[in-house]
Amino acid sequence: MAKEKIELTIDGQIVSVEKGTTILEACRQVGIKIPTLCHLDEVSSHGSCGICVVEIKNSKRLVRSCTGIALPGMEVTTNSERIRSSRKLNLELILANHPLECLSCERNLNCELQNLAKQLGVKESRFQRTKKKLIPLDWSSSSLVRDPNKCILCNRCVEVCAQVQSVHAIDIAGRGLGSKVSTFLDKGLGYSVCTNCGQCSLVCPTGAIVERSHIEEVFKDISNPELFTIVQTAPAIRVGIGEAMGMPYGALVTGQMVAGLRRLGFYKVFDTQFAADLTIMEEGHELIKRIQEGGTLPMITSCSPGWIKYIEHFYPEQLDHLSTCKSPQQMFGAIAKTFYAKQAGLDPRKIRVVSIMPCTAKKFEAGRNEMDGAFDFWKEELKADESERFADVDYALTTRELASMFKRVGIEFSSLPDENFDNPLGSSTGAAVIFGATGGVMEAALRTAYEVLTKKSLSSIDFMDVRGMEGIKEATVMIGEMPLKVAVAHSLSHAKKLMEQINNKTSPYAFIEVMACPGGCLGGGGQPIPTNSEIRKKRAESIYLEDSNYAIRKSHENPSIRALYEEFLTHPLGERSHHLLHTSYTKRGEYGPF
Ligand code: SF4
Ligand code: SF4
Ligand code: SF4
């Protein structure tokens, strides 16, 4: 049903908007972008920063446009001396307590606070600092670093963590000048139920929450002639990194990204998509086995490390529902340090695996104790003792960190030529590309499960019902005579709804895909800032365009994956796969272990 419309006047223009629209939204609809620091589209309007004020005729006070509702006949002014000086005053009050360390700050040149100061013409604050002490940084998380001194208490991180992710790891604690973003008992993010999803770092307007950087370590390893430092890139990087290098939102830059990585000096440039195809082989066969042998259903995907930590904390009794498959990042690391090391004649102790991921939680995942299957594979042959134990993946960098590396060495990204991935771990299919979008793992798995089970070719391989940005999507797919009911959720608040059905034993599904971040990996917490719903849609379009460009679009048809099974793994779910490609999970509960 069409919503009721109302009319108001904004800067002399008559505007018609839906009843209930905020003044801020109404202004945007006529092309007036009101500045804000705390408002978060589609999530919350906190009204705390006081930057978005406007004048309303016959109202003595200025009104905060993000919380004020547009009313019929309202006359709004967005540009006056009174408004400009009020915005400046509020910004100066914020800056009075802000450490102006722009030169050493991760967000320098991409900071909303810095941009706003420039936009409003604020060069210094007339006010004295009122906060007496500097607060120590929170280094407890393996994925994120918090600097409370740069926090402007806008509440965006708290809202995204609670409303979008249903995690509630952080909240504003204390009063007045003592207020700060804090965790349970103020113990630090690394000792909380935080899933490391990084959505807070995407929405933070300042450098108060940023990824924990490993750029220096990676540069050092690349230039160490004793080491073979190889790199893998997740599907979502090719539709994100261009943005961070000044190109349009969603720019598809696969070949230039490969060229840039080669210019950085990596020994080989490989593709996580190779391992995404491998994941489908293992996960698809696991699903088939569970269906045929009466295993735990619904089976839930396990590629998203933020999701894994969420279920470990909040639904520890339901871990049997998770696929035992490691994520593509981890499968890649295990195969690189075993199969590839053997084939290339390299000492696995000298291989460094660097991942470029759209995700901050991948840093935590790479450091999990159980992610070191390659060491066990080699232990006897190398006569290595426990002190030499190495991880399958050494460093996981975000898209933003990769952009910093490119900028640091002066790579002119837009003028790079297109180059191809190295082989054998650089070959992939269209099914692997779509891992980057919500619904993609499901679609890729269906393309393979259908053909393996029915031994027939699919007439159409595009499963449109599981595409798009709906929070929960469902479909019933006929696999021969068998109807397979599936669901896809992105963002943890949506995953929670599906988990409640499982808890209540009312889940109608056989297979569920969950991605922790809105839009899936393309909206991951390590992607370029800004990331919002419009940008996520553009990145998704590029992902599906890339899929359609591939000659091979089903994981089980990837010739390099076939060769990997023939030469090394033997068959999906075999003994070697079990040791290298599958894992187990930890019952964490809400009180840890964290
Ligand atoms: S958060 Fe922004 S304004 Fe503050 S130090 Fe960093 S770049 Fe500068
Ligand atoms: S990383 Fe995710 S779960 Fe952790 S505090 Fe930020 S939004 Fe919440
Ligand atoms: S940490 Fe960032 S997002 Fe959270 S309240 Fe502070 S400034 Fe806002």
Give per-residue pLDDT as tens, 526-572: 999 999 999 999 999 999 999 999 999 999 999 999 999 999 999 99
Centre of ligand 3 to C-alpha 323, Å, is: 35
How many domains would you assign to the chain? 2
Containing structural domain, residue 84: 5-94
Asked if residue 149 has its Cβ within 6 Å of ligand 1, the reply is no
At 178 the pLDDT is 86
70 falls within a domain: yes
Q: Which ligand lies nearest to the CA atom of residue 211 in the structure?
A: 2
DSSP state of 559: H
173 falls within a domain: no
CA dist 53 and 50 (Å) reads 6
Residues 84 and 224 in one domain: no
Confidence category of residue 120, pLDDT binned at 50, 70, 90: very high
Asked if residue 202 has its Cβ within 6 Å of ligand 2, the reply is no
Task: Write down which residue in 94, 109, 128 finishes a domain.
Answer: 94
Asked if residue 102 has its Cβ within 6 Å of ligand 1, the reply is yes
CA nearest to 572, candidates 301, 140, 277? 277
Confidence category of residue 501, pLDDT binned at 50, 70, 90: very high
Nearest CA to ligand 1 atom 3: 114
Residue at 50: amino acid letter = G
Please tell me the total number of residues recorded for the chain in this structure.
Answer: 594
Q: Which ligand lies nearest to the CA atom of residue 122 in the structure?
A: 1
CA dist 542 and 250 (Å) reads 6
Q: Is the pLDDT of residue 132 over 90?
A: no
Asked if residue 98 has its Cβ within 6 Å of ligand 3, the reply is no
Characterize the bridge pairing of strands 75-77 and 53-56: antiparallel
306 falls within a domain: yes
The answer to whether 430 touches 551, Cβ cutoff 8 Å, is no
Residue at 255: amino acid letter = G
Residues 88 and 220 in one domain: no
Q: Which ligand lies nearest to the CA atom of residue 147 in the structure?
A: 3
172 falls within a domain: no
At 177 the pLDDT is 82
Nearest CA to ligand 1 atom 8: 102
131 falls within a domain: no
Q: Which ligand lies nearest to the CA atom of residue 196 in the structure?
A: 2
CA nearest to 110, candidates 34, 177, 205? 205
Centre of ligand 3 to C-alpha 181, Å, is: 7
**Proportion of the chain above pLDDT 70, given as a percent:** 100
490 falls within a domain: yes
Asked if residue 167 has its Cβ within 6 Å of ligand 2, the reply is yes
Residues 433 and 293 in one domain: yes
Give per-residue pLDDT as tens, 303-353: 999 999 999 999 999 999 999 999 999 999 999 999 999 999 999 999 999
Asked if residue 101 has its Cβ within 6 Å of ligand 1, the reply is yes
The answer to whether 389 touches 372, Cβ cutoff 8 Å, is yes
pTM for the full predicted model: 0.97
- Quote the mean pLDDT of the chain: 96
Q: Is the pLDDT of residue 100 over 80?
A: yes
Q: What residues contact 113, with CB distance under 8 A and at least 6 apart?
A: 37, 94, 95, 98, 152, 205, 206
Centre of ligand 2 to C-alpha 167, Å, is: 7
Helix (H) or strand (E) holding 256: helix 254-264
DSSP state of 434: G
CA dist 305 and 492 (Å) reads 12
What amino acid positions are annotated as catalytic residues?
283, 286, 303, 323, 362, 365, 370, 521
CA dist 534 and 536 (Å) reads 5
Asked if residue 190 has its Cβ within 6 Å of ligand 2, the reply is no
Task: Write down which residue in 72, 94, 116 finishes a domain.
Answer: 94
Q: What residues contact 457, with CB distance under 8 A and at least 6 apart?
A: 451
Centre of ligand 2 to C-alpha 194, Å, is: 5
At 133 the pLDDT is 84
Q: What CATH number is given to the structural domain containing 279?
A: 3.40.50.1780
Centre of ligand 1 to C-alpha 110, Å, is: 9
241 falls within a domain: yes
Give per-residue pLDDT as tens, 417-458: 999 999 999 999 999 999 999 999 999 999 999 999 999 999
Radius of gyration over every alpha carbon of the chain, rounded to an integer in angstroms: 25
Nearest CA to ligand 3 atom 3: 204
CA dist 524 and 528 (Å) reads 9
Q: What CATH number is given to the structural domain containing 89?
A: 3.10.20.740
The answer to whether 64 touches 27, Cβ cutoff 8 Å, is no
Characterize the bridge pairing of strands 180-183 and 170-173: antiparallel
591 falls within a domain: no
Centre of ligand 2 to C-alpha 162, Å, is: 9
Residues 333 and 477 in one domain: yes
DSSP state of 280: H
Residues 90 and 224 in one domain: no
Average pLDDT on 288-301 reads 96
Task: Write down which residue in 35, 66, 94 finishes a domain.
Answer: 94
Asked if residue 107 has its Cβ within 6 Å of ligand 1, the reply is yes
At 45 the pLDDT is 82
Side-by-side strand order, sheet with 63-64: 13-18, 5-10, 75-77, 53-56, 63-64
At 1 the pLDDT is 72
Q: What residues contact 54, with CB distance under 8 A and at least 6 apart?
A: 23, 27, 34, 62, 63, 65, 68, 76, 77, 78, 83
**Proportion of the chain above pLDDT 90, given as a percent:** 95
